[in-house]
Amino acid sequence: MNPDTVFSLFDSEPENQGENPNKEITNLSEHPYVLMGLFTRMIIRGEESIQNTIEFLKAIKMDSSFDFETNTAFSRYMLYTAGFNHLSKLSLEDPLHQDTLLEKAGEDFLTACDKAIQFFQSREEYEKCALIKKFSDFINFSQNKLPL
């Protein structure tokens, strides 16, 4: 086998390199399914992770100056804010986002929405609650779960 011929296979450019077959999504991390999943998993599993971390720190008998309550509150704030940032990238005006929400959103997504609304209500961040509620209502209404 001649190494020159093997490496020459990689020299030419693909025929449609400049064309994007899916012009709507250029970055996988911006796909609505990924954004929904990030929001859902962060909210649902994040609380458990924070609690496990705090329990671990208590178990190893952290320095007494370590404030567990403040750390827990800050961690929860970071968790919910990061989750909200992922959700806020979704648009109910975009047909791809609508279709993805309708096809992929389940009980976990609605549970995450409810938890996030409760968190932001406790912090009186009602603008965030309103946006999250839009997504929750969109899913509930489309699944005929909301009263008319």
Rg (CA), the chain: 22
Please identify which residue in the block is written with the tokens 């961040």.
125
Q: Is the pLDDT assigned to residue 146 strictly greater than 50?
A: yes
Please name which of 39, 109, 114, 111 lies closest in space to residue 80, comparing C-alpha atoms.
39
pLDDT band at 22 (very low <50, low <70, confident <90, very high): very low
Give the tens place of pLDDT for each residue, 78-137: 999 999 999 999 998 988 888 888 888 889 999 999 999 999 999 999 999 999 999 999
pLDDT band at 25 (very low <50, low <70, confident <90, very high): low
CA-to-CA distance for 29 and 125, rounded, in angstroms? 26
Q: 3-class secondary structure for the chain?
A: CCHHHHHHCCCCCCCCCCCCCCCCCCCHHHCHHHHHHHHHHHHHHHHHHHHHHHHHHHHCCCCCCCCHHHHHHHHHHHHHHHHHHHHCCCCCCCHHHHHHHHHHCCHHHHHHHHHHHHHHHHCCCHHHHHHHHHHHHHHHHHCCCCCC
pLDDT band at 72 (very low <50, low <70, confident <90, very high): confident
Average pLDDT over residues 52-64: 79
pLDDT band at 21 (very low <50, low <70, confident <90, very high): very low
For residue 65, what pLDDT is reported? 76
pLDDT band at 70 (very low <50, low <70, confident <90, very high): confident
Compute how many other C-beta atoms are within 10 angstroms of the C-beta atom of residue 91.
Answer: 11
Q: What is the pTM of this model?
A: 0.73
Give the tens place of pLDDT for each residue, 36-51: 999 999 999 998 888 8
Q: Is the pLDDT assigned to residue 10 strictly greater than 80?
A: no
CA-to-CA distance for 145 and 141, rounded, in angstroms? 6
